[in-house]
Amino acid sequence: MGAQKEITDLMNLYCTAIDSGDLKTFGRLFANATWIAEGRVPGPESMNNMILYEDGTPRTKHVITNLTLDIDDAAGTASGHCYVTVYQQTPEFPLQAIFVGEYFDTFLHAAQGWAFTQREIRHSLIGDMRAHLKIPSLTIPGATP
């Protein structure tokens, strides 16, 4: 498998992990990486900040677009950038975009394959996140309840 596909699959796995409520996979993706939101590393309390519904999911869909990758195979490093839109719908919350922003990623190639070293979320447009996060500002600075 080529580097571009591996990295794209990794970026998509992040979205799938969150949307399926798979916090173990999310944790593995960032076990040796930094996750930054609007210039701040969220505290450990943000790991328990997501609202999960009866089906075990947050009832969201993360959609990434406008993906660009810069891969240095010789150095085993890469960077990526994409836009992200997060949609949510619950029985009491109509379908809507709750978040729009950009992901700025860095990656490292190791024996196990490509891995995140950093994901930075920036330039956020924040909608109604009350049905997604218990305390939105714990995870996304500037988000209001």
Place of tokens 């997060």: 86
| 18-38: pLDDT as tens digits | 999 998 999 899 999 998 999
Q: Residue 21 phi/psi, 5° resolution?
A: 75, 20
Residue 145: what pLDDT? Answer: 66
DSSP state of 32: T
Binned at pLDDT 50, 70 and 90, residue 11 comes out as very high
pTM listed for this prediction: 0.93
Q: Which whole number is the average pLDDT over 65-70?
A: 98
- Domain map (residue ranges) of the chain: 3-139
- Longest Cα–Cα distance in the chain: 51
CB 104 within 8 A of CB 135: no
Protein fold of 3-139? Nuclear Transport Factor 2; Chain: A, (3.10.450)
Quick check: 144 pLDDT over 80?
no
